[in-house]
Amino acid sequence: MAAPLYILGAGSMGLLLAARLQPVAAPVLLRRPGRWPARLQLTLQDGEARQRLAIAQLGTDALRDPVERLIVCTKAYDVLLALQGLGSRLAPNAALLLIQNGMGSQQAVVRAFPGCSVYAASSTEGAYRPAPDCVVHAGRGLTRVGRLQGEAQDWVGLLRAGGLDCEAVEAIDWHLAGKLRVNALINPLTVLHDCRNGELLERPAAEAAMRRLGAEADAVLAAAGYTFPEPAFEQAAAVARQTAANISSMLQDARAGRPLELEAITGHLLELAQLHGVPAPEHAALYAELVARAAGRQETAASARARPASQAAGPAPDSRRSRRPTG
Ligand SMILES: NC(=O)c1ccc[n+]([C@@H]2O[C@H](COP(=O)([O-])OP(=O)(O)OC[C@H]3O[C@@H](n4cnc5c(N)ncnc54)[C@H](OP(=O)(O)O)[C@@H]3O)[C@@H](O)[C@H]2O)c1
């Protein structure tokens, strides 16, 4: 019998997977430490269809049994801390499936948990969470899954059993790099211009920047051994057109004052650029600008905190996140 399935992180992807896998694997949602009701009464919305599901959940501090099978659905910047937070409750040979955008966090897990079976996924599913107990399956996509280390696991069979379109791939890092270069051309620029994806192609300055970012990304990734049949700009422009009305996840995070997944996307590209000696000034400038904006926002929030409550503007920042760019 397969070990119980846990899902770490009850955000958009965590709730989507919990809902889809409930009928086939009855997963347990692992939440931040704290007291949680034993079941989350979750609504899954898919077009006009609405389904109510009772999902088992508990705070990571309430875990008693070893976690042997785990899907990690935190943002890239939280993965390592979240897994380390499980401590000895994470079985040394646990099977892990990582569902993060960008690159770098997956390799960090491989290094930190050498005894675990580690798989990574690159997913074009679209989900958002309008309320803590509701997830909207906004766009059907394809999830590619590949092994990074350790024993073989049938994650593809599990996700397919849950009704998700899924395929096994040999070179998951190539797929992650392919998604990273599209994300690197669209997401930070939508934050810089505070615009929807499609508007990037309507604003000459944004489109020109996207072309320069694309040329740099192609050169950096080629130096790192990743080549693609189509230039990054062409692919990103096609995605921007297909998702013209969408607000990118990074812009949603920026508007909500949440940390951005910038490190795993532009940050990783810049690391590769440095490693291979390929110039990437456009990405570096964009990264620096978004980090500076985040620092400015934190400074504003800090001075607001220093003022009397009656004069304070906006919410105080979450100290747990205070060193991360929030756009
Ligand atoms: N949403 C999509 O459509 C989609 C599609 C493809 C790929 N992805 C990728 O999937 C990943 C997850 O995205 P998402 O949209 O689901 O993000 P999200 O909505 O921000 O969810 C992340 C969740 O992880 C939780 N978390 C963080 N640290 C934790 C810890 N130590 N213990 C327990 N829970 C913890 C967060 O809790 P708090 O709320 O308390 O911070 C949050 O609920 C990202 O890398 C994203 O790029 C998302």
Top mutation candidate among 75, 137, 243, 252 for ligand 1, by most atoms within 8 Å of CB: 75
10 C-alpha vs ligand 1 centroid, how far in Å?
7
11 C-alpha vs ligand 1 centroid, how far in Å?
5
Is 179 part of the annotated catalytic residue set? yes
Q: Burial-class residue 45 by CB neighbours within 10 Å (0-12, 13-18, 19+).
A: middle
Nearest ligand 1 atom to the CA of 76 is: 45
Q: Does ligand 1 lie within 6 Å of residue 101's CB atom?
A: yes
Confidence of residue 37 (pLDDT cuts 50, 70, 90): very high
Report the pLDDT value the prediction gives residue 314, as an integer from 0 to 100: 31
Neighbours of 170 (CB within 10 A): 9
Confidence of residue 1 (pLDDT cuts 50, 70, 90): confident
Residue 154 has pLDDT above 50, yes or no: yes
- How confident is the model over 179-201, as a mean pLDDT? 98
- Mean pLDDT across the chain, nearest whole number? 92
Residue 317 has pLDDT above 70, yes or no: no
Residue 43 has pLDDT above 70, yes or no: yes
pLDDT in tens, 195-205: 999 999 999 99
The pair of structure tokens assigned to 6 is: 């846990």
Percent of the chain past pLDDT 70, that is, above it, reads 91
Residue 233 has pLDDT above 70, yes or no: yes
Q: How far is CA 144 from the centre of its chain?
A: 15
Residue 310 has pLDDT above 80, yes or no: no
pLDDT in tens, 78-118: 999 999 999 999 999 999 999 999 999 999 999 999 999 99
Q: Does ligand 1 lie within 6 Å of residue 179's CB atom?
A: no
Q: Does ligand 1 lie within 6 Å of residue 321's CB atom?
A: no
Report the pLDDT value the prediction gives residue 2, as an integer from 0 to 100: 87
Domains (range + CATH), the chain: 5-170 (3.40.50.720), 174-306 (1.10.1040.10)
Q: Does ligand 1 lie within 6 Å of residue 254's CB atom?
A: no
Confidence of residue 297 (pLDDT cuts 50, 70, 90): confident
CA atoms within 13 A on the CB side of 51: 17
113 C-alpha vs ligand 1 centroid, how far in Å?
20
Q: Does ligand 1 lie within 6 Å of residue 100's CB atom?
A: yes
Closest-CA residue, ligand 1 atom 26, reads: 9
Task: Judge whether 305 and 285 are in contact, CB under 8 Å.
Answer: no
Top mutation candidate among 63, 78, 246, 319 for ligand 1, by most atoms within 8 Å of CB: 78
Residue 299 has pLDDT above 80, yes or no: no
Q: How far apart are CA 227 and CA 186, in angstroms?
A: 19
Report the pLDDT value the prediction gives residue 327, as an integer from 0 to 100: 41
Contacts 24+ apart (CB under 8 A), 173-176: 173/103, 173/120, 173/146, 173/148, 173/226, 174/226, 175/122, 175/144, 175/146, 176/102, 176/103, 176/106, 176/120, 176/122
Catalytic residue among 179, 181, 268, 324: 179
Q: What secondary structure does DSSP assign to 231-266, as a single string?
A: -HHHHHHHHHHHTTTPPPHHHHHHHTTPPPTTIIII
Confidence of residue 126 (pLDDT cuts 50, 70, 90): very high
Residue 16 has pLDDT above 50, yes or no: yes
What order of strands is seen across the sheet that includes strand 134-139?
Answer: 126-131, 134-139, 39-46, 49-59, 28-31, 5-8, 67-72, 90-98, 117-123, 143-149, 166-168
- State phi, psi for 86 to the nearest 5 degrees: -75, -20
97 C-alpha vs ligand 1 centroid, how far in Å?
14
Report the pLDDT value the prediction gives residue 301, as an integer from 0 to 100: 61
Report the pLDDT value the prediction gives residue 171, as an integer from 0 to 100: 96
Report the pLDDT value the prediction gives residue 294, as an integer from 0 to 100: 83
- How confident is the model over 214-218, as a mean pLDDT? 98
Nearest CA-CA partner of 69 in 16, 13, 25, 5: 5
For residue 201, give Cα distances in angstroms to 77, 210, 212, 232, 290. 29, 9, 13, 14, 20
